[in-house]
Amino acid sequence: MQKYDNVIYEWCNKKWHRTNNKIKTHAERRNFLIVCNYGDWSGFRTLAECEAQFDEFNEADRPNFFYSVVERT
């Protein structure tokens, strides 16, 4: 994650949780991505496209806050 990323979702207790951060641009813009502790996990996409991948993480055995969905401006 980069210091200017706006965190929209965080991975905690094996589920995605929405943060209180407001979206700075528009959810339809392709400036959202899934990141992990090692760097960018996905490419740029809309927020809905990120949310559509949440089911893929159901079996993820990763520690809390390992993944995040961020808005990169």
pLDDT band at 25 (very low <50, low <70, confident <90, very high): very high
The alpha carbon of residue 44 and the mean position of all alpha carbons in its chain are separated, in whole angstroms, by: 11
pLDDT for 2-18, tens place per residue? 778 999 999 999 999 99
Q: How far apart are CA 58 and CA 9, in angstroms?
A: 15
The predicted pLDDT at position 11 comes to: 96
CA-based angle 37:67:31, to the nearest 5? Answer: 100
Q: How far apart are CA 71 and CA 73, in angstroms?
A: 6
Rounded to two decimals, the pTM is: 0.92
pLDDT band at 60 (very low <50, low <70, confident <90, very high): confident
